[in-house]
Structure 1
Amino acid sequence: MKSLKIASILLLVSTLFLKFSSMIRDLVIANYFGTSYIVDAYNAAMIIPNAFILFMLTGMKDAFIPSYLRYEKEGKGKSHLTNIVKSTFFICLVISILGSIAAFFYFPASYPNFSKAAIDIGIYTAILYFLSLSLVGVNAVYEGVFDANSQYSFSVFSQTVVVLFTILSTILLQDVMGGYAIALGYLLGTLASFLIKVVYFKPKNLLLWKQKIDREEVKIFYKVFIPVGVTIMVGQINLTVNFFFAGSFGEGVISYLNYAFRLVSIPQAIFGVTVATIIYPLIVKALNDKNEERFKTGIEKGLTFMLMLLVPTLVIMSFYMKDIVQIAYERGAFDATSTLKTTDASYYYFGSVFFYSLQAILAKGFYSLGKGHVIMRIGLLSILLNVIFNLTFTKFLGYQGLALSMSVVGFFYTAIVFVMLNRLINGFHFRYLLKETTKILVASIPVMVAMYILKDIQALNDLHVLGRFTVVCLVGGLVYLISTFIFKVDGIMMVLRKRKR
């Protein structure tokens, strides 16, 4: 238990560092390119290859962890690892080549309103991302090994390396290469991340080099993996659909939406990924031990911990969203007008972040049960809903309707997933979930009151935006900590009980 606690703390710290570096990457891009056609083209171009990257990166880990743990229990973990690494490399290589060729055709057809310069950037950005895919899948398999062994921080570190290379490439090469420097950095970072794993394991221990691929074993694995991967792709597919719609609203709109989505998604990326990553091996092991009660409780604890972290964060963000956008982006080519438009779009993404954070926990339940195909069908339905809501909301709200569509789709997606999982596990403990949710919501009311009062304090408003937001976060965090203690929120009480021991 103590080692798990240390691993959890390391994961949280490393995840914070990953998101901090990701924010710096977005900050650097905003500084040099603002909301110009270069950023529009880059965001539009990377969305499709990034869907395949997420398919391999996140989907592979979600499918591989339970599979690897089963084989490891039988003493065949290294053999299984070898089969999946070799097959995945060849599959990713084929997709990389085909995707690079297809970029010359699908990108100009998808964005006919783009200028020739934007189309050129888009095509070659897509190619560089597709080339990265050849190693992304292999990286994901080894990161799955780290997560399965509770070495979460090393897995996150290897992903951070990719982001850092993207930042350095953009800073050092943007004068020479312009927008191409961003995608080149991602390619170099992916290579560096792989080489770190080679050094860590040592080449001779990386896999069983002479072992031939067991095709039957690979087929069994991919039958589980493909539905999981497709489900992971759904979010990117919905973003792709939104960008297709956004392209018709003129230059800068794709950038406003993308900057807003990335910024608002930070709580989801930190809390959602951290909590989901920690509980996943635990609920898989509970199933392997045939302990259904521990499996069910693990998911419930994950949901309540997620709510405990997410709700007050969104409350603070709702009052100070403009400050957050200013701190993150407003410098260089990113001006005050871009801040206002990005802030406006940000509010409509709040529902998306809230619901998809909960869905990240629920999805682990499906993957643990080997029911990835069920959640995949729900995900495919969400794409249809997204198109319908995009057509509807943009008529009344303009491009902001695309962000609102993501939030509404997130609600339906999560609600359906919750109902389906509830049936599969013969019912959650609803009394516990309702009681904890109520306590968390009530405990967040004092935070809301504090934010409302702080908004009218002139001395605070006169501070620099960074100082003001720092004070707001400290006050909000302290108020929430006291409030959760008073209302005996389970997550806080568990932490306190462990400290007393």
Structure 2
Amino acid sequence: MMRRIPRSTSVAVGTIAILTFSIISKGMGFFREMLVAGLFGTSANLDAVFVAMTPATTLSGIIAGAFAAIFVPVYHSIRNEDPERSKRYAGAVLISGSLVFLSMGIVFLVIPDLVIRLFAPGFSGEVVAYAARKLRYLSIYPLIGGLESILGAVLKSNRRFIQFGFSQLFFNIIAIPVIFLTAPFLSEASYILAWILGNTFTVIAYLVQSRDLFSLRIGKGTSIVETLYLSLPLIFSGSLGVINNMVDKAFVSLLPPGRVASLQYAHTLLGLITFMIAAFQMTAYTELSEFVVSGDKKKVQERLRKTVTTSLNISLPLAAWIIMMAEPLVRIIYQRGQFDADSTSLVSMALIGYGALIILSPISHTCTSYFTARKRLKAITIVSVFSIFLNALFDWLMLRPLEHAGIAASTSLVVLNATIIYVWLIGREGVKFMPVKRILRLLGLSAGVFIVVAFLRLNTSTLIWLVFGNLLFSCLFFFSARSELKAIYTRMKMLFKRR
């Protein structure tokens, strides 16, 4: 039945497809996070679970992400010459990646205590032991998450965006009932079981949808050596990102319990809110890679400008809204059961610190996608190295006055610095893509609305502030993203007419 799903061919249709399934998935994701917050709040055990998940998901994600990012341009180059060889290449990446992910899982199985102490040196011995046991359970995850990333790249490279988006629904369909049914017996560990089973079913769905796109008969000319070679800089730069994460966790582990979980809740909430931008970024990279491979510089520049412009039209109003409405937003979504008013305060502070990432991350991701598609990875590595020292400095300066919110703000400042450097480096290559005038107009408009809403907060009742404040931000969003919303409406109308 799933093979009858029609294939999408354009970035616009692909974005709508992923966006549609993302809305469903993120809706379930909101419910999942509400369930977790109500069951566990911001406890020390949940801190330990999130720390245990960090190496399992982040380290494997770095390698899988590097393979997936490099896979796209190499795959397009091979497919242009020999479609059959591209299938063998996809199979070779799957096999070689699986061996790497299995090796990583063995490390987590054998020395979990050492890994946990590296990521959270401030934890007590009891909490370290608890987290180490959970990391052992997660030793299978690198293989699951790695295969998920690579198979997802195979689907996106072939513009099977509908199949990709549809398959992602399986995660929450499985994870939510697993958490609900097993929490009374497994407590916080139910989150780990849900994560493993949910992603396993997603991998199975990916396999069904992509089984005709890869072959496990590996022969000569699969370019696997080139992929491994080109992936190394991305793995290295991503590993430096893990060091940043480790430094953040090391500082936060010195604070009272609940701070690690607060950062995790805030970061997850950002992802749930900004899914529209993520959907567009996924599909835009496929087209960007195709233009880079074809050598069409004009189309590359146009694609970069469109990607950044669309991202900013959506992200700037969202960032202003989230920073202003962080506390009531967190209270509505999370505050119930074990998640009390103190937990709401902790998470909302972290959410404000992360707020700038809503704007900066899409631009930074677009820039790194350009360098990756061109297979010029030196810039990414150099910026990542510099970011380590900058992150440690900002963490040290901001921990005492702002606590965990300072760690979140430090991350935003580091990404701001990296984004400025990336844009400058791309500009030196003669590719001018930043819509400066558009940015200034949106910043001015967003700042104006923000000031008005802040005035309402100080001079009116909470109800008036919430009603009129959200109304103003909604108007700002619909005005800023009017072109994107109109394009989505037009495309969806055309799709329904065809049917």
Percent same amino acid at aligned positions?
19
Question: Which of 73, 95, 100 is the matching residue for 1:91?
Answer: 100
What residue in structure 2 maps to residue 251 of structure 1?
257
Structure 2 distance, partners of 1:126, 1:21, is 26
4+ residue runs of structure 1 moved beyond 6 angstroms?
456-460, 492-501
SS at match of 2:244: helix
**In 2 relative to 1, CA 322–223 (structure 1 residues): closer, same or farther, beyond 3 Å?**
same
Q: Does 1:59 align with 2:63?
A: no
Native 8 Å contact 2:120 2:249 kept in 1: no
Structure 1 distance, partners of 2:52, 2:111, is 12
- Residues 100-141 of structure 1: CA deviation (Å, up to 9, x unaligned): 212132324654553555323311322233311113222222
Query: Which amino acid in the other structure matches residue 36 of structure 2?
Result: I
Question: Which of 268, 274, 277 is the matching residue for 2:279?
Answer: 274
**In 2 relative to 1, CA 230–160 (structure 1 residues): closer, same or farther, beyond 3 Å?**
farther
What residue in structure 2 maps to residue 25 of structure 1?
32
Task: Give the superposition deviation at 1:461.
Answer: 0.6
Native 8 Å contact 2:151 2:210 kept in 1: no
What residue in structure 1 maps to residue 4 of structure 2?
none
Native 8 Å contact 2:72 2:157 kept in 1: yes
What residue in structure 2 maps to residue 441 of structure 1?
443
**In 2 relative to 1, CA 158–116 (structure 1 residues): closer, same or farther, beyond 3 Å?**
farther
What residue in structure 2 maps to residue 7 of structure 1?
14
**TM-score, normalization: structure 2?**
0.87
What residue in structure 2 maps to residue 242 of structure 1?
248
**In 2 relative to 1, CA 296–54 (structure 1 residues): closer, same or farther, beyond 3 Å?**
same
Structure 2 distance, partners of 1:179, 1:173, is 9
Task: Give the superposition deviation at 1:154.
Answer: 2.7
Native 8 Å contact 1:345 1:400 kept in 2: yes
- Residues 195-216 of structure 1: CA deviation (Å, up to 9, x unaligned): 22333355xx47434x246597
Query: Which amino acid in the other structure matches residue 244 of structure 2?
Result: N
Structure 1 distance, partners of 2:388, 2:172, is 28
- Residues 302-321 of structure 1: CA deviation (Å, up to 9, x unaligned): 11111111111111222211
Task: Give the superposition deviation at 1:78.
Answer: 0.8
RCO higher in structure (CA 8 A, sep ≥6): 2
Question: Which of 421, 445, 463 is the matching residue for 1:461?
Answer: 463
Q: Does 1:411 align with 2:383?
A: no
Question: Which of 386, 392, 395 is the matching residue for 1:390?
Answer: 395
Q: Does 1:197 align with 2:235?
A: no
Q: Does 1:180 align with 2:189?
A: yes
SS at match of 1:6: helix
Native 8 Å contact 1:351 1:410 kept in 2: no
Structure 2 distance, partners of 1:14, 1:354, is 23
Structure 2 distance, partners of 1:184, 1:116, is 24
Q: Does 1:289 align with 2:298?
A: no
What residue in structure 1 maps to residue 371 of structure 2?
366
Q: Does 1:136 align with 2:142?
A: no
Q: Does 1:339 align with 2:339?
A: no
Task: Give the superposition deviation at 1:326.
Answer: 0.6
Structure 2 distance, partners of 1:497, 1:443, is 27
What residue in structure 2 maps to residue 262 of structure 1?
268
How many residues end up aligned between the 2 structures?
A: 485
**In 2 relative to 1, CA 264–139 (structure 1 residues): closer, same or farther, beyond 3 Å?**
closer
Task: Give the superposition deviation at 1:255.
Answer: 1.6
SS at match of 1:426: coil
Question: Which of 422, 427, 432 is the matching residue for 1:428?
Answer: 432
Task: Give the superposition deviation at 1:396.
Answer: 2.9
**In 2 relative to 1, CA 245–449 (structure 1 residues): closer, same or farther, beyond 3 Å?**
closer
Query: Which amino acid in the other structure matches residue 256 of structure 2?
Result: G
Native 8 Å contact 2:155 2:210 kept in 1: no
Structure 2 distance, partners of 1:496, 1:171, is 37
Native 8 Å contact 1:56 1:136 kept in 2: no
Structure 2 distance, partners of 1:213, 1:254, is 47
- Residues 443-486 of structure 1: CA deviation (Å, up to 9, x unaligned): 435643663476479687179xxxx57x754553234434677x
Structure 2 residue ranges without an equivalent (≥5): 1-7, 495-499
Task: Give the superposition deviation at 1:354.
Answer: 2.4
What CA RMSD, in Å, does the superposition of the two structures yield over aligned residues? 3.1
Native 8 Å contact 2:13 2:491 kept in 1: no
**In 2 relative to 1, CA 472–405 (structure 1 residues): closer, same or farther, beyond 3 Å?**
same
Structure 1 residue ranges without an equivalent (≥5): none
Task: Give the superposition deviation at 1:153.
Answer: 3.7
Task: Give the superposition deviation at 1:234.
Answer: 4.6
**In 2 relative to 1, CA 232–278 (structure 1 residues): closer, same or farther, beyond 3 Å?**
farther
- Residues 74-121 of structure 1: CA deviation (Å, up to 9, x unaligned): 222211111111111112111111232121323246545535553233
Task: Give the superposition deviation at 1:292.
Answer: 0.3
Task: Give the superposition deviation at 1:176.
Answer: 1.0
Residue range with higher mean Cα deviation, 156-165 or 80-89: 156-165
Native 8 Å contact 1:344 1:400 kept in 2: yes
Task: Give the superposition deviation at 1:418.
Answer: 1.3
